[in-house]
Structure 1
Amino acid sequence: MSTCRVTDSIRLESEGNIKLTGFVDADWAGDHADRKSTSGYVFQIGHSTIAWSSKKQSVVAMSSTEAEYVAASEACREVQWLRQLLADMEVPQDGPTKIYEDNQGCIKVAQSDRCSQRTKHIDVRHHQLRDLCESGIVSLVYCPSSEMPADVLTKPLGKDKFDRYLKLLGLQ
């Protein structure tokens, strides 16, 4: 059993490893008025959802890869904060935090050390994602779209999918 002391009177106990994982998604140009995308991410410790976000991106993405890259960049800023919080609670994270992503192009851009004709327009501020991947803070892992629970935060879903994703997130 893993134990983490939050204060002298509050404890976080877990059957097994207290490992932070995340899921990130974006809907490309989902807002029909301004064609901006929506970013969504969810973070869990074990099977408990501890943080999530769904918000419209501030830029118009030129591709689904860019929309996903922007969303992953936003999720990585949250990862840094969550990892520091866990370290302050004496639960340091061993190895990179896995963030599941359903866009293989996004993963390739994050793992590449060069810009191409297709990616040079992505704002420099989002390339912090690359640095975090290179330094071993985060690891982007492919997750098929059909298994991406962060979809619940970015797009309309049918009842069955919606219910299944809520269950995966430990929500009712």
Structure 2
Amino acid sequence: MLSQYLTKPTETHLKLADQCLRYLLETKNLCLVYGASKHITGLHSQPEHLGSNHEFFGASDASYGMNNDRTSSNGWVFMLFGGPVDYKASKQITVTKSSTEAELLGLSQAASELIQWERVFAEIHLQFNQRTHLYCDNTQTIRLVNQQGQKLDTKLRHVDIHHHWLRQRDQRGDIEIKYLSTNDMPADGLTKLLPPQKHKHFVKLLNMAEEGVDPRTSVPSAAASGGNGPTDA
């Protein structure tokens, strides 16, 4: 993440910044698309994970030990009515000793944000038809949270605290953590650089499309021909 090098940027960082600006220029017509729940295209290849009335969900991911100081990176995104409404990509402060520990830390942060969102929804009387799902692509992490008797083998006390906090929230019904494959994980692109084809897929998972193009069909929408197409922002 270039923001880490604002004080002492090198020539390499300046070149990467130029590359980012070129990308933004080339994708200036790329839009976030929102709509009714039946039109949600995120996780399109696994509709059983959403259900017909799942308008709001979160996804959390972590890349283990990928930074030069061997810290991990984590990211989360929350989707509402088909498009992202909140996201974060950050570098973990603590060096963890396994991918499971890294995923637990990231998942705990995402769960805290999810609870804040649910408080906002309660304030404005916005209700959903089922518990909000928080998705993760690490099966061991999910087992540690969901199953009684599962123990985390770690000497990092704060990681174990996050583990037990997540389990408590799950048992109370505040959150529901479910598995989602890496290929369908909308937070994957927040933790690492992706090759072109995977980046294109990541953009699609975020329900983004060129202006005038329906992301469900990748063809010009009714809006492009003067009709009433899906609303985008």
TM-score higher than 0.5 here?
yes
**Which of 70, 79, 91 is the matching residue for 1:35?**
70
**Which of 73, 83, 88 is the matching residue for 2:123?**
88
Instruction: Report deviation, 1:111.
Output: 1.4
2: CA distance between counterparts of 1:15 and 1:147? 20
Q: Which residue of 2 aligns with 1:130?
A: 167
1: CA distance between counterparts of 2:73 and 2:204? 22
8 Å Cα contact 1:31/1:37 also seen in 2: yes
Q: Output aligned runs, 1:54-69, within 5 Å.
A: 54-69=89-104
Instruction: Report deviation, 1:171.
Output: 3.0
2: CA distance between counterparts of 1:47 and 1:141? 18
Q: Which residue of 2 aligns with 1:142?
A: 179
Instruction: Report deviation, 1:35.
Output: 0.7
8 Å Cα contact 1:83/1:93 also seen in 2: no
Any gaps of 5 or more consecutive residues in structure 2? 1-33, 38-52, 210-233
Q: Which residue of 2 aligns with 1:161?
A: 198
8 Å Cα contact 1:149/1:165 also seen in 2: yes
2: CA distance between counterparts of 1:25 and 1:102? 7
Instruction: Find out whether 1:25 has 2:44 as its counterpart.
Output: no
8 Å Cα contact 1:86/1:93 also seen in 2: no
Q: Which residue of 2 aligns with 1:44?
A: 79
Name the structure where strand makes up a greater proportion of residues: 1
2: CA distance between counterparts of 1:95 and 1:129? 19
Any gaps of 5 or more consecutive residues in structure 1? 1-12
Residue type of the partner of 2:175? V
1: CA distance between counterparts of 2:131 and 2:149? 22
Instruction: Find out whether 1:98 has 2:119 as its counterpart.
Output: no
8 Å Cα contact 2:146/2:167 also seen in 1: yes
**Which of 15, 32, 52 is the matching residue for 2:36?**
15
The TM-score with structure 2 as length reference comes to 0.62
2: CA distance between counterparts of 1:133 and 1:93? 18
Question: Once superposed, what is the RMSD of the aligned Cα atoms?
Answer: 2.1
Instruction: Find out whether 1:171 has 2:208 as its counterpart.
Output: yes
1:93-125 CA-to-partner distances (Å, cap 9, x unmatched) read 444211111000110111134463624643414
Change (3 A) 1:76 1:29: same
- Aligned residue-pair number: 159
Specify the SS of the correspondent of 2:100.
Answer: helix
8 Å Cα contact 2:36/2:81 also seen in 1: no
Change (3 A) 1:115 1:58: farther
The TM-score with structure 1 as length reference comes to 0.83
8 Å Cα contact 1:36/1:60 also seen in 2: yes
Change (3 A) 1:58 1:112: farther
Name the structure where helix makes up a greater proportion of residues: 2
Q: Which residue of 2 aligns with 1:5?
A: none
1:2-31 CA-to-partner distances (Å, cap 9, x unmatched) read xxxxxxxxxxx9635473201110000111
Report % sequence identity: 31
